[in-house]
Amino acid sequence: MIRLDDDGRIAGIRYFDRSVAPLDADEDLVDALLDAQTEFMRRIISPEFQVNHRLEPGAVVVVDNHRVLHGRTAFDPSAHRRLRTCVVDREEFHARWRELAYRLGRDDYDVFLSSGAV
């Protein structure tokens, strides 16, 4: 669910409550892990930790799928709502970002960019 990088920083989050795999952990950790997962889910659905924004026609939302948990609330299907998605390969994005930063003379062009949640 939460992947850490080599320095212990959060590198990415992947969570879909309807497809969580069985826990692969020592038996003495299972209760604590289930409690942590329950708390994580409680926070996800808590209004305290949500940002809600109504999209108008033509609106664009860009999210880093490894850093932002996102979803939608109910909508009126008779409104003929359509949502288009565009996926950008993370490694391709990082490579182009580093190339552009180098061309612009930035000192941090070779900064390590986390690969996100695998």
Q: What is the DSSP string of 36-105?
A: HHHHHHHHHH-GGG----PPPTT------TTT---------GGG----------HHHHHHHHHHHHHHTT
Q: What would the pLDDT profile of 77-89 be if each residue is shown by its tens digit? A: 787 777 788 888 8
User: Does residue 114 fall inside a structural domain?
Assistant: no
Residue 109 is assigned to a structural domain of this protein:
no
117, part of any domain: no
pTM above 0.85, yes or no: no
Residue 45: domain span: 2-103
Tell whether 111 is covered by a domain: no
DSSP state of 110: T
pLDDT tens digits for range 12-55:
888 877 777 787 889 999 999 999 989 999 998 899 988 888 88
Give the 3-state secondary structure of residue 117. coil
Residue 63 lies in a domain: yes
Domains held by the chain: number: 1
pLDDT at 73 over 70: yes
Is there a domain that residue 79 lies in? yes
Tokens of 91: 């490694």
In a domain, 110, yes or no: no
Is 118 part of any domain? no
Q: Select from 71, 112, 64, 61 the least CA-distant residue to 88.
A: 64
